[in-house]
């Protein structure tokens, strides 16, 4: 008999209570990769920016509520057309920097 499981599985959450709490307080956002649409070169570029602020900058951010991130890219070919998108979320304090793709 061929059993169809549907690809579902059960895995217990092995994080401790503090890690689970931080994950709920500082949720990450999903970032959707662009498709290879007609008229665009295949592939994409991705820039990850990690901001570490001192106490003075944190207080300034608390007052203004604004952060600005500027990314400048230079290529070895002339760029006639480009698309770009980004997302933002607040990370938990002392969050580990992950090298995995989104």
Predicted confidence (pLDDT) per residue in 22-41, tens digit: 989 988 887 777 777 788 77
Span 71-91, pLDDT tens digits: 888 777 777 888 877 777 777
With 80 as the cut, is the pLDDT of residue 18 above it? yes
* pTM for this prediction: 0.53
Nearest CA-CA partner of 91 in 20, 29, 17, 16:
29
For the chain, give every domain's residue range: 11-92
């Amino acid at each position: 008999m061929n059993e169809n499981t549907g690809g579902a599985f059960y895995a217990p959450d092995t994080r401790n209570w503090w890690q689970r709490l931080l994950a709920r307080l500082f949720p990450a956002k999903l970032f959707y990769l662009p498709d290879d649409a007609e008229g665009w070169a295949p592939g994409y570029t991705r820039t990850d920016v990690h901001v570490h602020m001192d106490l003075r900058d944190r207080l300034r951010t608390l007052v203004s509520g604004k952060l600005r991130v500027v990314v400048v890219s230079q290529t070895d070919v002339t760029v006639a057309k480009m698309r770009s998108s980004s997302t933002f979320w607040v990370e938990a304090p002392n969050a580990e920097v992950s090298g995995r793709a989104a």
